[in-house]
Amino acid sequence: MPAVHGGERRWEAEAAPGMAAARPLALLVLLVLGPGGWGFADPPRDSLREELVITPLPSGDVAATFQFRTRWDSELQREGDTDHYFLRYAVLPREVVCTENLTPWKKLLPCSSKAGLSVLLKADRLFHTSYHSQAVHIRPVCRNAHCTSISWELRQTLSVVFDAFITGQGKKDWSLFRMFSRTLTEPCPLASESRVYVDITSYNQDNETLEVNPLPTTTYQDVILGTRKTYAVYDLHDTAIINNSRNLNLQLKWKKPPENEAPPVPFLHAQRYVSGYGLQKGELSTLLYNTHPYRAFPVLLLDTVPWYLRLYVHTLTITSKGKENKPSYIHYQPAQDRLQPHLLEMLIQLPANSVTKVSIQFERALLKWTEYTPDPNHGFYVSPSVLSALVPSMVAAKPVDWEESPLFNSLFPVSDGSNYFVRLYTEPLLVNLPTPDFSMPYNVICLTCTVVAVCYGSFYNLLTRTFRIEEPSTGGLAKRLANLIRRARGVPPL
């Protein structure tokens, strides 16, 4: 089950509750190397499903999520369950996303960017947004109830958040053209399903708050992340939608602008930072917020910390509401220098309506001077912690059939009616390590070595030697002879 996420910037969980789940901000590679490997021998492709979900956010910004899914019904062997021995987890805390990341991603699509929803994927617009996340997921899917044969599913998602301040000059209205500088004209010919969903949750029957144009023919209701949402559905295969004007330019206008109130806070959000100053020690602190008024819930916190931050595990403290909070499960795998990072995994119960602070002190290691990155004074990245939780839901959700429901539902898996699953990534951190001045290492090394050698040698010599004044020996053989004669005569020598 390899999945690759690429994210450009963290998105505020508070500001975008709809985006809270599974929004990676780092490149995350999850690989299960099953036995047998890959044997793609020109697998038959089943039809494509593509969809675009547009969600106006409470902050006034607009989030757009593209999803494309294809399947191969290949006869790959799968023997038994996943062997966890082969489970690998790796994080690259920083990836500068640019148009070069988008192009190969687009080429995976059957229609590339020629037709269908992918015509909207125009790089200069997508990268002028305040959030950008690209993902590729590959996983095996059972073809029948007994799972005797499997298909491989390739799912590509792209999420962007358009900044209303920059694109809309402060207005919260949007249209497809204004966001993407393109409109939709046709579905991808290979697609069996091509749909656009627009979140119109605050849309009333009497059209008071907002207006979508053209009017939707059907709507879809579901419970997403514990709240009930209503979506207007536009099916591009529906000829009536395209044919009226040769293109589809969705527009949304706010008739009565929504009150400028604080956006609703999600039940679980987190913040992470480095505390302390100086280049010797520091502290990694993670704040976990549970804003649910009366339900406590457990959170699984997974931290990987590079080895050059030497964690002091005895300083690990977890406090909620001023009291110590004992985690019910801790797994710690110490780092090995230059080989593997620290791995810390904890199951923490978050009390209702509380802030839990998880902090651990560390010491900054001095690297070998060839181990520094080319720009060492920039700092070193520490990957985000990963939070996984079953968050209690306000509205009971009914279990859905994933094959029938829209694709985006797979982003928000529901375990049972009363909980929904959330995976959060905190922000990556930038930590400065003690850095030598690289402009003159040789000068410094040579000079200090010379000075130390010369000074140490001579001072050591001076300090350990005893000095005695020696009478200068005057005269040579003649004197010695004379002395011999004098001694024989009994006269004191010269």
Partner 1 sequence: MGLLSDPVRRRALARLVLRLNAPLCVLSYVAGITWFLALAFPPLTQRTYMSENAMGSTMVEEQFVGGDRARGFARDFAAHRRKSGALPVAWLERTMQSVGLEVYTQSFSRQLPFPDETHERYMVSGTNVYGILRAPRAASTESLVLTVPCSSDSTNNQAVGLLLALAAHFRGQIYWAKDIIFLVTEHDLLGTEAWLEAYHDVNVTGIQSSPLQGRAGAIQAAVALELSSDVVTSLDVAVEGLNGQLPNLDLLNLFQTFCQKGGLLCTLQGKLQSQDWTSLDGPLQGLQTLLLMVLRQASGRPHGPHGLFLRYRVEALTLRGINSFRQYKYDLVAVGKTLEGMFRKLNHLLERLHQSFFLYLLPALSRFVSIGLYMPAAGFLLLVLGLKALELWMQLHEAGVGLEETGGGSGPSALHPPAQGVGLTSLVAPLLISQAMGVALYILPVLGQHVATQHFPVAEAEAVVLTLLAIYAAGLALPHSTHWVVSPQAPDRGWMALKLVALIYLALQLGCIALTNFSLGFLLAATMVPTAAVTKPHGPRYVLVSPHLSQCLCLHHRARPHSISLSPTWCLYSYHGAYTDVVPPSRPLYAALLVLTSPAATLLGSLFLWRELQEAPLSLAEGWQLFLTALAQGVLEHYTYGALLFPLLALGLYPCWLLFWNVLFWK
Which residues would be at the binding site for partner 1 (CB under 8 A)? 7-10, 12, 15, 25, 94, 128-131, 163, 165-166, 170, 260, 271, 273-278, 283, 285, 375-379, 381, 427-432, 435, 458-459, 461-462, 465, 467, 469
Alpha-carbon distance 266 to 286, whole Å? 17
Residues 6+ apart with CB under 8 A from 124: 99
Structure tokens at 465: 């030697």
Cβ nearer to partner 1, comparing 278 with 492: 278
Q: How far is the CB of 102 from partner 1 (least distance, A)?
A: 15
Least CB distance from residue 269 to partner 1, whole Å?
11
CB of 55 to partner 1, least distance (A): 18
Q: 56 or 110: whose CB is closer to partner 1?
A: 56
- Give me the least distance between CB of 151 and partner 1, in Å please: 35
Q: Are 297 and 390 contacting, i.e. CB atoms less than 8 angstroms apart? A: yes
**Among residues 409 and 435, whose Cβ is nearest to partner 1?**
435
| Dist CA 442 CA 447 (whole Å) | 8
Phi-psi region of 477 (alpha: psi -120 to 50; beta: other; left: phi over 0): alpha
Least distance (Å) between residue 299 CB and partner 1:
19
26 or 397: whose CB is closer to partner 1?
A: 26
Smallest separation (angstroms) from partner 1 to the CB of 456: 11
Choice between 381 and 421, CB closer to partner 1: 381
Residue carrying structure tokens 């003159």: 440
Residue 193's Cβ-side half-sphere holds a number of Cα atoms within 13 Å equal to 18
Which of 10/295 has CB closer to partner 1?
A: 10
Please say whether the beta carbons of 128 and 166 come within 8 A: yes
Reference 263, options 210, 294, 217, 227; nearest CA is: 227
- State which residue, 81 or 375, has the beta carbon closest to partner 1: 375
SS3 410: helix
Assigned token pair, 265 = 């806070």
Contacts of 387 (CB under 8 A, 6+ apart): 268, 270, 288, 299, 300, 301, 302, 422, 423, 424, 425, 426
Least distance from partner 1 to the Cβ atom of residue 56, Å: 16
CB of 32 to partner 1, least distance (A): 27
**Measured between alpha carbons, how far is 311 from 315 in angstroms, rounded to an integer?**
9
Residue 488 to residues 62, 66, 476, 485, Cα–Cα distance (Å) = 120, 120, 19, 5
Nearest approach, Cβ of residue 209 and partner 1 (Å): 21
Nearer to partner 1, 130 or 290 (CB): 130
Closer to partner 1 by Cβ: residue 25 or 318 = 25
| Tokens of residue 256, six digits | 């009565």
Nearer to partner 1, 59 or 151 (CB): 59
Quick one: 261 or 401, whose CB is closer to partner 1?
A: 261
Is the backbone of residue 169 left (phi > 0), alpha (psi -120 to 50) or beta? left
CB of 462 to partner 1, least distance (A): 6
List strand residue ranges (DSSP E) for 146-260, in order. 150-162, 174-175, 191-199, 210-213, 218-224, 227-235, 251-254
Pinpoint the alpha helices (H) of 33-155: 99-107, 123-126
Q: Which of 364, 204, 195 is nearest to 277 (CA)?
A: 364
CB of 463 to partner 1, least distance (A): 11
